[in-house]
Every structure is written in C-alpha cells, then in structure tokens.
C-alpha cells in the first residue's frame, strides 16, 4: 500500500449534481482536499453531468455553496477555470466520443446494437438459466457486414469495452493493497451511450488522464468497478492514477449506507440528516462537521479527536485511513459541535445566532443579542438551541407559563405565590439590579422563608421566562431589566392566586 507517486499531486472531487450534497460526499471531497493541501498539490472540482435525465441545474449551485460553507476551496473548477477545462463533462462530449472511437478502431471496444427490448430478452434468458445478470456479449465479434446491416436499420449503437475473458485484473489500492478480480466475472461495460454521452466509466478515465489527476480518492462502493477502469487505462496505454477507496460511512447501527431514501435514526429514533444543507439548517458549524467527518475512517494520531483543518492538513496521509467501513456516531457530532460553539468569539456567535432566531419568526435586537450570546454559549449543542433557550427574549408579547408549572418540588401553590410576592419586594428594593445583587438577595430570601435556593430560583425562572429551561436566571433578569422582571413576577403571582382562589396581596 502506498500513496507515493512521482507526479505532482492533483486530486479531484467529481460529483453528479442530481440533488443536494450528501454528507458522505462532503467527506470524500474533504479527504481529497486534505491530501492535495498536505502535498501542496491542486484540488479540482469537476462536474459529472452526463446523466442528463437526473441532472438538476440548481443542484450544482447548492453543491458548491455547501462546499464553500465547509471551507473546501478548489483550485480549478467550472467557476474558477483552469488550464485543463472545461470542468463540466457535458461540455467535453467530443473528447469522449473521439476516444471511444479510438478504442473501437484499436479493437479495445466494440459497438453493440441491441434495442431495449432485445436487452430485456437477454436479461430474462440469463435469469431463466440462473446465470449472473448482465450482457451476453452477442455483438462483441460482429463482422463489418453485420454492423453495416444494423446501421442501415437506423440503429444507434452503444460502445462497450472488450474486457479480457481470462486471467485476473490486479489493482494496487493505496488503502486496501492488491485487490484481485477474475476477468471472467466482469461485464463488457457500456462506455458511450447511443445518445453520444459517455458513462462514468469512460468519462472519468478520459478526464483524469487529460486533467493529469495523480490520485483518485473515492468511496469503497466504487471498488467493483475498478477492473473496468483499470482495463481502460491499459487499453489506452495511459499512466493510471493511484487509487484509494475510502471506507463507507454507515448508519449509526453499523448496518447499511446512510441514505436519503431510508433515513438513518439515532438511538432515540430521531431521524439523522444525510444532506449537508440539513446540517447547515440544523445549526452545525462547518469546523465541527469537518472535524467530525475526519474522525470517521481516518486517525489523526496520538488519540486526539479535536483538531483544526490546518492540523489535519499537516498530518494527513492515506496510511491512517481505515480499510473497514465506519458507523456514523450522531452523539459525537453534537458533542463536538458544542465544543466548537463554546470556542467561538462572542461577536461571531451572536452573528450566527441571528439566522435561527429570525427563521423562528423573531425580530432580533442586536444589542440584546450580544448580551444573550455568552449566556447561551455554554449550553448549546447546535446554534438552533438558542430558540428554545432564549427565544423568549424576542417575543413581541411575553407568554407566561401556566400557573400549575410554577410550584416546585416541596412547595405548594400558596407557598409559591407568597415566595413570588416576597421575591418581587426584595428585588424591587435593590439599589442596583445587577445579577450579583439579585442572587445575593434571593439566596437570603430562600433561607428566610425556608426553601431551597434551587427551588426558589426555578420558580423565578419559570415566572420570568415562561419556561423551565432557559438562560441563567439572574443574568436573564438583568437583561430584561428591573421593571419587566417585576412585571412578570407579579403576573405569575396573579396566575397562582387565580389558581388557588386567593386574591393577590396588595403591595
């Protein structure tokens, strides 16, 4: 196993823009990017849009936005250009057609003229004889006269590769070592479709050659196609790149690839996102996502789990990539994201919190947001947590909690009402409404009325925020201000009085 190559390092990420960027695709792009950056090489973005039925023009924009969000910049690509363009395959059709014809002319490939109905008949025949599905090679050795007859009928052929029928194809993979394939078990794969568009097999080999790609890092699910690709390199007589097949990212239970069609779930049954857009919307930071993905299948060394991409660039090599597929641990991502949130400068955190708050329908005040950011910072796993923790700061109208949620363990409704009234009086008498003075006064009150401080604090939290879980109590009331805090405490006391049928004591 080796990643050594005398050629300048050039890697590529070549997605097919048929939808949003998959989280596994982002990891593949990241590994190619890390490898190129480690070797001071070039990272290329190439668009494989030859499947015109599934191609979505909007998907390319979304895909590129997702990569930029993650910080994976490319040196060459459809938007930045480069010396080996164009970087969109549909703009390179004449190149693929030329080299497909070269293969035919040199007896390395052949035209195959079957209609869809005839191919279906071949499939059913193989199935009835309990033979492996595929193609029976019946047009592999047509005479020139037979080909001419088919073309006279107006049939447009596909071009198929002439795979060796005997022996083995042996490919040295930089992660898996020598991988052996029996040629007799391989198919004569379609290289060029009848509409003149190439399949992935032809297009990526031609592009990798002319773009001078030195290393191909791609998911292990492509391993079955390796003998076809390797035989294509041999047929052309071109120097192949170093192949490295990356471990597949599995569902959290270790069974099956993460798929949008069958969404994975965590231990609690919650659906786990599989698209990068969903992680952005869910409030994850790009730094945390990349750190997390790097830990799935690659080992930084010295048992370190938290590192920057600059650290990863310095250490990245293929010898630390595992051969085995790896499960996706969602709880580890939440843990990592929380750590990265806590390390953010408050100014950047406040800027990032604006979007989830506005998406939730709140009108955000910049001054208040700056005050709130450090209060929520140590409690969040995702940026979206700010809505639950601190959304109450931005309500147009305060939404009090139901009265029956105010009493805490060991306190009756009447005791709770009395405690709120006394708390309001004590807070009203404070010279300065700082969180330090508030806390000292409330601790003294709790001791005087014989309740645990935590119980009194929880009562006040529900009274002033309308919820049981929120930002730190006294800092919250300091931000709300004396008048608003006292108004909410009085409102809560009134609710309890109505609940127990007792009038509020006059001030």
Catalytic residues: 260
CA distance 268 to 273: 14
Quick check: helix, strand or coil at residue 326?
Answer: strand
Q: Which of 213, 217, 234, 109 is nearest to 170 (CA)?
A: 234
CA distance 204 to 53: 19
Q: Please write down the long-range contacts of 478-486, taking CB distance under 8 Å and 24 or more positions apart.
A: 478/433, 478/434, 478/435, 478/438, 479/368, 479/371, 479/372, 479/375, 479/393, 480/393, 481/433, 482/427, 482/428, 482/430, 482/433, 485/427, 485/433, 486/424, 486/427, 486/428
| Whether the Cβ atoms of residue 390 and residue 375 lie closer than 8 Å to each other | yes
Q: Please write down the long-range contacts of 471-476, taking CB distance under 8 Å and 24 or more positions apart.
A: 471/372, 471/375, 471/376, 471/379, 471/389, 471/390, 472/375, 472/435, 474/435, 474/436, 474/438, 474/439, 474/442, 475/375, 475/435, 476/375
Other C-beta atoms closer than 10 Å to the C-beta of 436 total 11
Torsion sign over Cα 461, 465, 471, 474 = negative
* Pure H helices in 317-384: 330-342, 346-359, 366-377
Tokens of 287: 């730094």
| Whether the Cβ atoms of residue 296 and residue 27 lie closer than 8 Å to each other | yes
| Whether the Cβ atoms of residue 206 and residue 164 lie closer than 8 Å to each other | no
Q: Are strands 10-13 and 242-246 parallel, antiparallel or unpaired?
A: unpaired
CA distance 390 to 471: 6
Which residue bears the tokens 């925020």? 465
Tell me, letter by letter, the H, E, C secondary structure of 92-115.
CHHHHHHHHHHHHHCCCEEEECCC
Spell 57-72 as b/e; 16+ CB within 10 A means b: eebbebbbebbebbeb
Name the DSSP letter for residue 248: P
């Amino acid at each position: 196993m080796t990643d050594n190559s005398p050629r300048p390092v050039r890697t590529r990420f070549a997605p097919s823009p048929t939808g949003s960027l998959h989280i596994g695709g982002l990891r593949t792009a990241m590994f190619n990017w890390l490898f190129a950056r480690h070797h001071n090489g070039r990272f290329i973005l190439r668009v494989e849009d030859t499947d015109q039925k599934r191609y979505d023009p909007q998907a390319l924009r979304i895909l590129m936005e997702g990569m930029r969000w993650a910080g994976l910049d490319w040196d060459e690509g459809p938007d930045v250009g480069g010396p080996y363009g164009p970087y969109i395959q549909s703009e390179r059709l004449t190149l693929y057609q030329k080299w497909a014809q070269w293969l035919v002319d040199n007896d390395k490939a052949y035209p195959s003229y079957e209609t869809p109905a005839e191919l279906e008949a071949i499939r059913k025949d193989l199935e009835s004889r309990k033979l492996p599905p595929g193609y029976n090679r019946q047009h592999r050795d047509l005479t020139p006269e037979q080909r001419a007859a088919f073309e006279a009928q107006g049939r447009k052929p596909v071009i198929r590769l002439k795979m060796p029928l005997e022996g083995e194809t042996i490919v040295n993979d930089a992660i898996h070592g020598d991988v052996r394939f029996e040629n007799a078990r391989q198919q004569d794969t379609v290289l060029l479709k009848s509409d003149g568009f190439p399949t992935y097999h032809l297009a990526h080999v031609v592009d990798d050659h002319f773009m001078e790609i030195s290393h191909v890092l791609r998911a292990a699910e492509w391993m079955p196609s390796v003998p076809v690709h390797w035989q294509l390199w041999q047929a052309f007589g071109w120097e192949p790149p170093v192949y490295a097949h990356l471990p597949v990212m599995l569902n959290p239970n270790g069974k099956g690839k993460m798929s949008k069609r069958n969404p994975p779930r965590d231990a609690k049954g919650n659906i786990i996102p599989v698209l990068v857009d969903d992680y952005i919307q869910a409030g994850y930071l790009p730094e945390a996502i990349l750190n997390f993905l790097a830990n799935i299948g690659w080992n930084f060394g010295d048992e370190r789990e938290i590192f920057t991409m600059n650290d990863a660039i310095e250490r990245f090599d293929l010898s630390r990539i595992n051969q085995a597929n790896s499960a996706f641990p969602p709880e580890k991502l939440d843990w990592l994201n929380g750590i990265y949130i806590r390390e953010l400068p408050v100014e950047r955190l406040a800027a990032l919190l604006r979007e989830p708050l506005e998406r939730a329908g709140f009108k955000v005040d910049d001054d208040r947001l700056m005050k709130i950011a450090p209060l929520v910072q140590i409690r969040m796993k995702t940026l979206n947590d700010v809505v639950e923790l601190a959304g109450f700061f931005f309500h147009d109208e305060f939404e009090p909690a139901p009265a029956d949620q105010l009493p805490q363990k060991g306190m009756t409704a009447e005791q709770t009402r009395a405690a709120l009234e006394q708390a309001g009086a004590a807070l009203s008498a404070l010279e300065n409404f700082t969180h330090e003075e508030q806390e000292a006064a409330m601790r003294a009150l709790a001791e005087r009325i014989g309740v645990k401080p935590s119980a009194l604090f929880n009562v006040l939290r529900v009274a002033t925020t309308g919820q049981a879980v929120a930002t730190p109590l006294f800092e919250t009331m300091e931000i709300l201000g004396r008048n608003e805090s006292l108004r909410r405490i009085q409102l809560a006391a009134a609710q309890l009085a109505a609940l127990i049928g007792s009038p509020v004591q006059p001030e």
